C-alpha cells in the first residue's frame, strides 16, 4: 500500500477494525504497552498530527532530511524504537474500557482529517520529523499504526 489515498482510507476506515481483533489481555511482541495503552497512545499521536498536542522540534536540523526520507519510505519502525517523549512505564489508560478508548481514537482520526480538509496546506511540527503536511502526516500515521498492530501480532496489509 503506497498511496496517500489508500493509507488515509486505512486510517479512517480499517485501523479501528484491526485494533478490535487484538484480545484485551494480549501480550506485546515487544515494548511495555498493553493493547489498551497502545490505543490511547495512538489517540495521542492523532492529536499531535491534528495540532491539538504541540511539541518543539527535537531533531537537529541537519538530520531532518534523513529522518524524513525514512518516514516517507515503506521501511517499518524498528521494534522497541525509543521515544524520548514517553515515560519508561506507560501510564494507565484514562478510559475505563477499551471501547471508550477506541471511540476516542476514531474521533481523533476524524478530527485529523477535518483539520486538513479545512486547511489543506497546513503544516504542523512533529518533534522528530519536523514540519509535516497532510501527505507526510498520513504516511507517518500509517507507518506508526502498522508498527503497533505488528506489536500485537496483527500483520498483512
In a domain, 140, yes or no: yes
> What confidence tens digit (pLDDT) does each residue in 87-131 have?
788 899 999 999 999 999 999 999 999 999 999 999 999 999 999
pTM of the model: 0.94
Ranges under pLDDT 70 in the chain = 1-2, 157
Q: What total number of domains does the chain contain?
A: 1
**In the structure grid, which three cell numbers stand for residue 16, read together?**
479501528
The answer to whether position 89 is within a domain reads no
Domain of 112, CATH number, reads: 1.20.120.450
Residues with Cβ < 8 Å from 53, sequence gap 6 or more? Answer: 44, 47
Q: Is 86 part of any domain? A: no
Q: What domain range includes position 114?
A: 4-81+95-151
**Residue 43: what pLDDT?**
98
Amino acid at each position: 500500500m503506497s498511496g496517500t489515498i489508500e493509507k488515509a482510507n486505512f486510517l479512517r476506515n480499517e485501523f479501528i477494525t484491526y485494533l478490535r481483533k487484538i484480545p484485551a489481555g494480549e501480550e506485546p511482541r515487544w515494548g511495555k504497552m498493553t493493547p489498551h495503552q497502545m490505543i490511547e497512545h495512538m489517540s495521542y499521536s492523532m492529536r499531535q498530527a491534528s495540532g491539538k498536542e504541540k511539541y518543539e522540534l527535537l531533531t537537529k536540523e541537519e538530520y531532518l532530511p534523513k529522518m524524513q526520507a525514512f518516514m516517507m519510505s515503506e521501511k517499518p519502525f524498528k521494534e522497541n524504537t525509543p521515544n524520548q517523549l514517553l515515560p519508561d512505564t506507560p501510564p494507565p489508560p484514562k478510559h475505563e474500557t477499551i471501547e471508550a478508548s477506541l471511540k476516542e481514537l476514531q474521533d481523533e482520526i476524524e478530527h485529523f482529517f477535518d483539520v486538513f480538509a479545512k486547511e489543506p496546506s497546513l503544516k504542523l511540527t512533529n518533534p522528530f520529523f519536523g514540519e509535516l503536511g497532510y501527505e507526510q502526516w498520513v504516511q507517518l500515521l500509517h507507518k506508526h499504526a502498522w508498527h503497533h498492530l505488528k506489536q500485537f501480532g496483527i500483520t498483512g496489509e
